[in-house]
Amino acid sequence: MTALGNEGYVVVEGGSVTTPAGFRAGGLHCGLKKTERHDLGVIVCDVPAQAAGVYTLNQFQAAPLAVTKESIGAEGKLQVMLVNSGNANACTGKQGEDDARAMRAAAARAFGVAEHYVGVTSTGVIGELLPMEKVLSGIERLPAEVSSEGGDDFCQAILTTDLVKKEVCVRLNVNGRPVHIAGAAKGSGMIHPNMATMLGFMTTDADIESSVLQGLLNEVTDSTFNMITVDGDTSTNDMVVAMASGLAGSGRLTPEHADWGSFRAAFAYVAEYLAKAIARDGEGATKLIEVTVAGAASREAARAIAKTVIGSSLVKSACFGADANWGRIIAAVGRAGHPVQTETVDIRLGDIVTLQQSRPVRFDEDQAAAYLKGDFVQIHIDLHMGEETATAWGCDLTYDYVRINAAYRT
């Protein structure tokens, strides 16, 4: 466990979505993937948990999203969150909707809960019907695989082209009692702001009302999950779901509570950690790129410019090639759709100044190339127009990205 930070929380080494009180998880292979890797997973809470969700803005939304929205909408609670990988159950018509509801019903039976306490989500290939015999058989076997130690199996079950699992857990005190917030996520391709091909799951044992949790999730998503991009594509299945068991025994938490600031900071840390892990694990990626825009006239402008730069194929390619081509960065700033003062822009690559007051600055090309060859690249842009700042995350564009996506279905 790390030392207590300034924000009042600590990172729990080895923590997972099952660390918060009341949560268990697990995963197994039911036959959706060609390999023996897990492809069906679940998070289970001992009690109906207060729940919140955010979803992709793609107009073609996969059937499971409608089912999960319906479940959360009934009482604002979830007790079981079921997920499969290897098949997205998207663009599958009425049969896909029926299959998603059948998964919800089967999970409700398997875990002995009401159907509206079950959320369902899927990830994988679009446009193929689920082999429901395999899925339903797997759901029947899931309860035996669920435990307080099952966080890792759950993480493995949600991966598709991901190379690594993504999980984090923090602890803070509320009313003097320990409260945990944890998260797990998947995603490495079709990643773009306003939800990407990503699934995120956050658990906490805080006692927090569903409507308050929803507001917090909306707020934090805007500055974390909605500020990452890998390839500019927004998927059909993406969602982030948060569940709060209330079993920490720390009392009801509201925005007016004295410990709300610490809780919000810890919640935001978990979301940002997962978002950056997704960006770092972009398909074929060799480095994480962070773009910070300062001095913007509005938060909207800062975010739009940061996302435009991080999403530029030319910027991403230059980072892959370790080419300090700041011209690609300034071009992206200028096309982001927000007015800029074209005579006042500064650009830095790490600590290396390349542009000052929109004029080129002589810099050591070899030093810049060496910096860009690292696995973490920071691009700083100062517009000198106001006080607003935003940060976005992405990755480089590599040969392997094309190779992976050229043969995704095969």
Enzyme catalytic residues: 197
| List of residues 6+ apart from 47 with CB closer than 8 A | 22, 79, 245, 246, 247
CB 19 within 8 A of CB 180: yes
CB 347 within 8 A of CB 326: yes
CB atoms within 10 A of CB 91: 14
Q: CA 309 to CA 198: how far, in whole Å?
A: 21
CB 41 within 8 A of CB 25: yes
Q: Quick one: CA dihedral 67, 70, 74, 75, positive or negative?
A: positive
Q: CA 164 to CA 283: how far, in whole Å?
A: 11
**Six-digit token string for 238:** 């993406």
Q: CA 344 to CA 145: how far, in whole Å?
A: 59
- The H-or-E segment that residue 87 falls in is strand 77-87
Q: CA 410 to CA 405: how far, in whole Å?
A: 10
**Six-digit token string for 257:** 């509570």
Find where tokens 């074929």 sit. 284
3-state class (DSSP) for residue 350: coil
> Packing angle between helix 326-334 and helix 299-311, nearest 10 degrees?
130
316: left (phi over 0), alpha (psi -120 to 50) or beta: alpha
Q: How many CA atoms lie within 13 A of 226 on its CB side?
A: 16
CB 199 within 8 A of CB 237: yes
**Listed residue (59, 131, 135) closest to 91, CA to CA:** 59
DSSP state of 252: B
Q: CA 392 to CA 272: how far, in whole Å?
A: 10
